[in-house]
């Protein structure tokens, strides 16, 4: 065991403060990563506030991790010391269930271990995330980060990137498809960049009119302020895929009406409260209401390679660890432009 410095919420809804804890020794199939950057995801805030139910404290959040490999276990072939590695939302799965075997290890039926606020597969050890100096993980659950991409800007790809890439691929975003991205925050701005790179026509739906210029600079073709009822109505029957990244429980029916035949509204935002949904709104044009959570290790690597090829990184504000509480307040006020990333050298 080694002692690692990190930042943690010691109690539900507590401030994020310095905390020391133990990482396991590097096992035969593990790597040790000195973390350089860790993104702040809105999911970190939901969990610190226990908006998804009871959580484990002290909690070291962080599942958008990039750093340098400093040790490799004897069985590890995938990484060598000095490589740049990433860690996303989960660090283990059973490897034997239907979904682990069909390449969807993020849907493991038997306890995938989440990167933090989770339990290792030994059933007892708590997991601690990326707001820390170092992490020890199984090499199979770490990702290879394209070396030419900016490391700080790459960290958010490990959650925000894959969470939007996966449903865009599943619903065949590409040339001839109209994609609407609802909410321009961490996930939303990645959805815009990735959907544009896939060749889709992209509309941003935002309740922050001040984000218009940024959205267009990211490559979006159209921006609609969601308080503008006329502009929203003009989109009726035009959109094939809506990626809803909003962290609050909005009225989905307002947006379902903009879908064209066989279109889908994909829920990735996770407010932790039920949406009110009227079945009638889906019937005409055979529309779907669907969801998506993160992505498999295989697809996360595919996403990183795609971003490497298209030079896609996140638009970030790098902060010191002492500024995390303030960053949380700004995320909650929809004032993130467009992801906070912690420079872990400041821990
Ligand atoms: P974020 O950076 O805070 O972005 C959320 C955006 O939603 C805001 O920037 C804002 O965009 C919009 N919004 C917020 N409150 C709103 C309100 N009351 N009404 C209308 N729009 C509002 O958060 P994030 O990190 O992108 O995460 C977004 C959500 O996805 C969170 O709930 C998170 O837990 C969830 N998530 C899910 C997965 C998954 O696997 N499914 C993975 C990661 C995160 P505008 O200012 O443009 O309107
Ligand atoms: Zn996340």
Give the tens place of pLDDT for each residue, 225-261.
999 999 999 999 999 999 999 999 999 999 999 999 9
Show me where the domains of the chain are located. 2-157+314-346, 160-291
* Fold match, 2-157+314-346 / 160-291: no
Two tokens, residue 275? 């949406």
Pocket mutation for ligand 1, best pick of 155, 183, 315 (most atoms within 8 Å of C-beta) = 183
Kindly report the protein residue whose alpha carbon is nearest to atom 1 of ligand 1: 185
Using the mean position of ligand 1's atoms as its centre, give its distance from the Cα of residue 97 in Å. 31
- Radius of gyration of the CA atoms of the chain, in A: 20
Two tokens, residue 132? 């820390």
Residues 129/48, Cβ–Cβ less than 8 Å: no
CA–CA distances in Å: residue 272 to residues 56, 144, 213, 258, 289 = 17, 32, 31, 25, 17
Pocket mutation for ligand 1, best pick of 245, 266, 293, 327 (most atoms within 8 Å of C-beta) = 245
* Residue 70 CB coordination number (10 Å): 15
pLDDT below 50 — which residues of the chain?
none
CATH no., domain 2-157+314-346: 3.90.180.10
Kindly report the protein residue whose alpha carbon is nearest to atom 11 of ligand 1: 183
Instruction: Give burial (CB, 10 Å; 0-12/13-18/19+) of 51.
Output: middle
**Site residues for ligand 1, CB cut-off 6 Å:** 41-43, 46, 159-160, 163, 183-188, 206-208, 211, 245-248, 250, 268-271, 292-294, 331, 334, 336
Closest atom of ligand 1 to 270 CA is 32
Q: HSE, CB side, 13 Å, CA atoms: give it for residue 61.
A: 29
Closest atom of ligand 1 to 208 CA is 46
What is d(CA 152, CA 316) in angstroms, rounded to the nearest whole number?
8
Instruction: Give burial (CB, 10 Å; 0-12/13-18/19+) of 267.
Output: buried
Phi, psi of 179 (to 5 degrees): -110, 135
What is d(CA 312, CA 65) in angstroms, rounded to the nearest whole number?
17
What is d(CA 21, CA 59) in angstroms, rounded to the nearest whole number?
11
Closest atom of ligand 1 to 336 CA is 2
Name the fold adopted by 160-291. Rossmann fold (3.40.50)
32 beta partners: 71, 136
Q: Output the pLDDT for position 112.
A: 82
Kindly report the protein residue whose alpha carbon is nearest to atom 36 of ligand 1: 269
Q: Output the pLDDT for position 344.
A: 98
């Amino acid at each position: 065991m080694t002692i690692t410095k990190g930042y943690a919420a010691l109690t539900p809804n507590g401030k994020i403060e310095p905390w020391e804890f133990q990482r396991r020794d590097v096992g035969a199939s593990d790597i040790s990563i000195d973390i350089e950057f860790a993104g702040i995801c809105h999911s970190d805030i939901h969990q610190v506030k226990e908006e998804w139910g009871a959580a484990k404290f002290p909690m070291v959040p962080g599942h958008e991790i990039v750093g340098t490999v400093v040790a490799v276990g004897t069985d590890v072939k995938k990484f060598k010391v000095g490589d740049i590695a990433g860690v996303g939302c989960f660090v283990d799965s059973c490897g034997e269930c239907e979904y682990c075997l069909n390449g969807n290890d993020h849907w493991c039926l038997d306890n995938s271990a989440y990167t933090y606020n989770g339990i290792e597969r030994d059933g007892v050890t708590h997991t601690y995330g990326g707001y820390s100096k170092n992490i020890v993980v199984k090499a199979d659950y770490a990702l290879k980060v394209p070396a030419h991409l900016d490391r700080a800007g790459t960290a958010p790809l490990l959650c925000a990137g894959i969470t939007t890439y996966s449903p865009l691929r599943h619903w065949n975003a590409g040339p001839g498809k109209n994609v609407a991205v609802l909410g321009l925050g961490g996930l939303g701005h990645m959805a815009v960049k990735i959907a544009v790179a896939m060749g889709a026509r992209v509309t941003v739906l935002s309740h922050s009119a001040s984000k218009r210029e940024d959205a267009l600079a990211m490559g979006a073709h159209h921006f609609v302020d969601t308080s503008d009822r006329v502009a929203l109505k003009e989109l009726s029957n035009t959109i094939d895929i809506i990626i809803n990244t909003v962290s609050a429980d909005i009225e989905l029916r307002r947006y379902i009406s903009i879908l064209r035949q066989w279109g889908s509204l994909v829920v990735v935002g996770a407010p932790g409260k039920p949406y009110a949904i009227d079945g009638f709104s889906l019937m005409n044009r055979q529309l779907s209401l669907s969801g998506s959570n993160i992505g498999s290790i295989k697809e996360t690597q595919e996403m990183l390679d795609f971003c490497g090829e298209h030079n896609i990184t996140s638009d970030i504000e790098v902060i010191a660890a002492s500024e995390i509480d303030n960053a949380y307040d700004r995320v909650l006020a929809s004032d993130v432009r467009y992801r906070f990333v912690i420079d872990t050298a400041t821990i």
